[in-house]
Structures are given as C-alpha cells and as structure tokens.
Structure 1
Amino acid sequence: MSQQLNGSESPVRRQASNAISEDTILDAATRLMSTIGIRRTTMADVARSADVSRATLYRRYPNVESLAAQITTREFTRIAAQAPVTDEPATRRTMIITLVHLVREARAHPLLQRIVELDPEFLMPYLLHRTGRTSRSQLEMIETMIGRGQSSGQIRDGDPHRIATTVLQMAWSFALTGPVFADPDNDHELDDELSDLLERYLRP
C-alpha cells in the first residue's frame, strides 16, 4: 500500500466497465468452468481471468450460478448455429440430422463433461424440478421444427409441444447417460441409435 501511495508502483489499470464485452467475461468463465468445474470457480477467479473488477462483474452477474446459466445458453446457441445444413427444408431427415448433431456436440462439450464429472448437482434442478432458459430454448426450437415437418407431411400428427417434450427427453438422455452405457470407442453408435429412435417416433 505504501509503495503505491509513494508512486513507486503503478496501480493495476483495467478497462472501463462499459468497454468490456459480454463475450470477454463469458469466455473467461467458460475456460475456468471447463477446467476446474462450476463449484470451484469463484467470481474473483472470473474477474481476474477476464481482467475486470469484481464490482463490474457483480453488476452484470449476481453469482457464479447465473454466469453458468448464461454460458450454457450461449454454448447451446453456438452448437445449434453449427448444425449441418441440408437442401431439404422442413423434412423429418433434416430435423433428425440437426438433433443428432446437437446431442453429439453437447455430449462432447468440455463444459458439460466437467459438469457431469465434478458438479452433477448443478443439473439436478433442471432435470428433476424445473426447466431452465436453455431447456426452454431447446424445446421451442424442436417444437418449431416439428410444426414445420407436420405442415409438410414429414412428421406424424399430434400436439407439437407434447412431441417436442418427448424428443427433448430422448436427447437429454442420450447426451447425459448415453456414455454410461455405450462403448466410448464406438461413440457413433449412440448417434445411430438416436437417429433410428427419432425416425421411428416421428414418421407418419
């Protein structure tokens, strides 16, 4: 303290809080959580890694859990944006390809792997008690695809919301518990089985 007061050591200078992008903070938090897990990550860790003050961080996020929720939503959005594009709009095949891609990428994502390994309790409320922002976004996306597929005659009749809910339950099962039962050296078998299951469930 005395050194700083005497001017022999310059104080740490950080960017102005309004100049720090959301992605800078989320990227730093994602790196930490994908390495040491959510429970071991602190707001001080994130602030240090993102080179922002803790005050700035707390103004945007009240706690680590809110950061983790925002990160999972962002990562799902990124995975969805990278889904393979086909020349067959609103078809059952297009929907299945997209869903299998989402499940495969989620299953292999370092953050989800670390959560399952170190912090499974983070997922429990969303699996057993309530839907989170990410699950609602996934459900909305699937329901939209089902509605389009029904309009084109590619997907069986039925309440799109109820069908979407069942499909999402299948997807989460294959993402979270699939690796427990599958041979890790034949991970593609999970994709093949999910594809077959969805085909049988969705076709008219």
Structure 2
Amino acid sequence: MTSIRHNAPFGDTPTSGPLRGQAQDRAPDTAPVSGRGADPILDPVLDATREVVLAVGVRRTTLTEVARRAGLSRMTIYRRWPDVRGLVADLMTREWVLVAGRFATEDPVTAAVATVGALRDHPLWRKIVEVDPELLLPYLLKRRGSSHEVMLSLVESAVARGQELGTVRRDDPARLARTVVLTAQSFLLSGPALFFPLTGDDLDAELTALLERYLRP
C-alpha cells in the first residue's frame, strides 16, 4: 500500500514538496504533545486548529484561518507547521494522548476499553472518520505516528505495572502492549461496522472479554 498523494497539498501551504504527513521511509513522527517544553503558541494554535477542523473538516482547513482564530500571523504558523497535514497530525497526537492518559494510573484492560469508548465518541475523531478518513490510512497501513509511539509507551508501562501487581501475565511487556493497541484499534475502527447493530456498550463488553483472556495470568 502506497501513501496517499494529492494533486496539491490541501490548505494554503507555501511549499511544493511532500506533505509532512505523507508516508515516508523514515522514523516515526515526533510531533510535540501538549505540556512538553515551554512553547507558548502550541496549545493556542492546536485549539484553533481543532475549532476549524470541527467546523469544516481537514481538507477545508487552512493555515490562514487557523492563524486568524489563534490571533497570530500566518508566517508564525508557517515557520512551525509548513502545511495543514502536519498541524493536524500534531493536533491528533495531543487529543488522543490526552484520552489515553488513564493508562498511567488504571489497569491496562480497564484503560484500553475506556480509551476506545472515549475515542469512539470524541468529536474530532468522529469528524475525521466521517469527512476525511483517508487522513488515517498512512498511520494504519504504512507507519506509526507520534500518537502511536506515546500510546505504546503508556500501555507498556501499564502492562509492566500490572505484572508487578500480579494482574497481568508474564511476557514481554512491549509485545503485550503492541497486541493491546492493535486489538483496541481494530475495535475502534471496524467494531461499529462488524458488530452493527450492537451498541457501544456491547463492543466494550466484547473487548473487555478478549483482553481479559489475553492479559490475565
């Protein structure tokens, strides 16, 4: 599967090179997450991006409109994000990782099911899936993004903590974490279609049963 290409980058980007979000033969993205470092424009810009995407979708989002809503100059945005795709990738990283923060304190099964349920109802997730689903394809078929990397780290830590407590079976925590993320991702993306007309609660119950059997001693 090749990366998704467009005749021209969406949004008003000043460059003609590859989009930052296109699949490339390189290391996973390292987009910033809210709260890292001291960057006074990060959250205001991502907040403005969220507003625009929820209003018009990713393809109709422009850096000009994001800058206007954030109260910044367009060049200030361009210097940090040369295209809309990279900006939206950073927004997705922030939003998904905030939802998955429960892995830091909760049992991995409980956290995984709750995270899937929260993302399923997340307005940004719903907007992207309904209007711009192709935006997700490179991260599902070609490579891991920064949100995957952080998610895997959170789940691996939760698994290791569960092993210390005796609530998770002994095995390589990294392998277990990858399987949990892959399973949760499939329930998030394909569950509603495959289990229709079952409800979100039904999906959560099935995911819980599956992960309990996989992770428990």
Instruction: Give the TM-score taking structure 1 as reference length.
Output: 0.80
- Asked whether the 8 Å contact 1:142–1:164 carries over to 2, the reply is yes
- Give the Cα–Cα distance (whole angstroms) in 2 for the partners of residues 69 and 167 of structure 1: 22
Structure 1 position 40, deviation (Å): 1.5
- C-alpha RMSD of matched pairs (Å): 2.1
| Map of 2:140 onto structure 1 | 127
Q: What SS does the corresponding residue of 2:141 show, helix, strand or coil?
A: helix
Task: Name which of 82, 85, 94 aligns with 1:74.
Answer: 94
Structure 1 position 81, deviation (Å): 3.7
Q: What SS does the corresponding residue of 2:78 show, helix, strand or coil?
A: helix
1:99 aligns with 2:99: no
Task: Name which of 104, 124, 128 aligns with 1:115.
Answer: 128
Spell out, residue by residue over 1:58-115, the C-alpha distance to the aligned partner (whole angstroms, 9 max, x if none): 12211111111111111123213467966xxxxxxx2211111111111111111111
- Asked whether the 8 Å contact 1:84–1:97 carries over to 2, the reply is no
Structure 1 position 31, deviation (Å): 1.2
- Asked whether the 8 Å contact 2:109–2:212 carries over to 1, the reply is yes
| Map of 1:36 onto structure 2 | 56
Which runs of no fewer than 5 residues in structure 2 stay unpaired? 1-38
- Give the Cα–Cα distance (whole angstroms) in 2 for the partners of residues 80 and 162 of structure 1: 18
- Give the Cα–Cα distance (whole angstroms) in 1 for the partners of residues 198 and 45 of structure 2: 35
The worse-fitting range, judged by mean Cα deviation, of 174-183 and 122-131 is 174-183
Structure 1 position 135, deviation (Å): 0.5
1:143 aligns with 2:153: no
- Give the Cα–Cα distance (whole angstroms) in 1 for the partners of residues 87 and 211 of structure 2: 33
Q: What SS does the corresponding residue of 1:123 show, helix, strand or coil?
A: helix
The worse-fitting range, judged by mean Cα deviation, of 124-133 and 171-180 is 171-180
Return closer, same or farther for 1:21/1:154 CA change in 2, 3 Å cut-off: same
| Map of 2:212 onto structure 1 | 199
- Asked whether the 8 Å contact 1:36–1:114 carries over to 2, the reply is no
- Give the Cα–Cα distance (whole angstroms) in 1 for the partners of residues 175 and 113 of structure 2: 19
Letter of the aligned partner of 2:63 in structure 1? M
- Asked whether the 8 Å contact 2:99–2:118 carries over to 1, the reply is yes
Structure label with greater radius of gyration:
1
* Aligned-pair identity (%): 44
Structure (1/2) with the larger helix percentage: 1
Greater RCO (CA < 8 Å, at least 6 residues apart): 2
Please give the residue correspondences for 1:12-27 in structure 2 after superposition, counting only pairs within 5 Å: 21-27=41-47
- Give the Cα–Cα distance (whole angstroms) in 2 for the partners of residues 33 and 24 of structure 1: 14
- Asked whether the 8 Å contact 2:103–2:155 carries over to 1, the reply is no
The worse-fitting range, judged by mean Cα deviation, of 138-147 and 177-186 is 177-186
- Give the Cα–Cα distance (whole angstroms) in 2 for the partners of residues 135 and 196 of structure 1: 24
Instruction: Give the TM-score taking structure 2 as reference length.
Output: 0.76
For these two proteins, the number of residue pairs brought into alignment is 179
